[in-house]
Structure 1
């Protein structure tokens, strides 16, 4: 059975790149442009992992992750951010305080992302 992954990022280019990388590895990928759309999808579909950007309009990654942790505590989450080195680091640090959240700063290498995805999906 394929793992289902939700990619949430306001940048179309990032969503497309992540989708392509993950689909090449055999994952089923769905996408959303912000945390509000992402939450709507999570409420309607079962996902094994959510990869979310931190800095987005409408509902940012922190609010989205807080809702996910509260409502879906077993859902695996990988937070990504590249909003400037200091800003990205702060957002990712805050995400890590919300629970067992993996974090990755943009830009990242394909293999680094895929290793983190596998690591998150292998968690019991």
Structure 2
């Protein structure tokens, strides 16, 4: 069973992912980057699922920080686009700065599980 940390400012996304994965993984959730940092410092996390458009700090910065502090954690970036300045596709940038894979919102449970399985199998 892998430990997965999900960071998204949208509570409905956190609930969706947690319900989709709790049968096969230990899932931690946070609506903030600060909360995610605390969870990752106090738990052994195998995979970070990171939303890229959040109000306090963008996900690109969060991915770069996690890569420095926790280089072994695998990263799945998720985004529906948008943000303060309008729609922008951050997903290709996320891969450039260290995400193993990306998913565009909305995604299905099947797509989510497939991506997670691929990422975690590569690391084993």
Same fold? TM cut 0.5: yes
Aligned-CA RMSD value: 1.5
Q: In the alignment, what sits opposite 2:39?
A: 41
Please list, as runs of the form range in 1=range in 2, the aligned pairs for 1:63-102 lying within 5 A after superposition: 63-84=61-82, 86-87=87-88, 89=89, 91-102=90-101
Asked whether the equivalents of residues 79 and 91 of structure 2 are also in contact (C-alpha less than 8 Å), the reply is yes
Asked whether the equivalents of residues 54 and 79 of structure 1 are also in contact (C-alpha less than 8 Å), the reply is yes
SS of the equivalent of 1:10 reads coil
Structure 1: give runs of 5+ residues left out of the alignment.
none
After TM superposition, the runs of 4+ consecutive aligned structure 1 residues lying more than 3 A away are none
Asked whether the equivalents of residues 75 and 98 of structure 2 are also in contact (C-alpha less than 8 Å), the reply is no
Q: In the alignment, what sits opposite 2:20?
A: 21
Please list, as runs of the form range in 1=range in 2, the aligned pairs for 1:101-120 lying within 5 A after superposition: 101-120=100-119
**Cα distance between partner residues in 2 of 1:101 and 1:22:** 19
Question: Normalising by the residue count of structure 2, what TM-score does the alignment of the two structures yield?
Answer: 0.90
What is the CA-CA distance between 1:32 and the residue it aligns to?
0.5
**Cα distance between partner residues in 1 of 2:17 and 2:59:** 17
Question: Normalising by the residue count of structure 1, what TM-score does the alignment of the two structures yield?
Answer: 0.90
Larger helix proportion of the pair: 1
Asked whether the equivalents of residues 36 and 64 of structure 1 are also in contact (C-alpha less than 8 Å), the reply is no
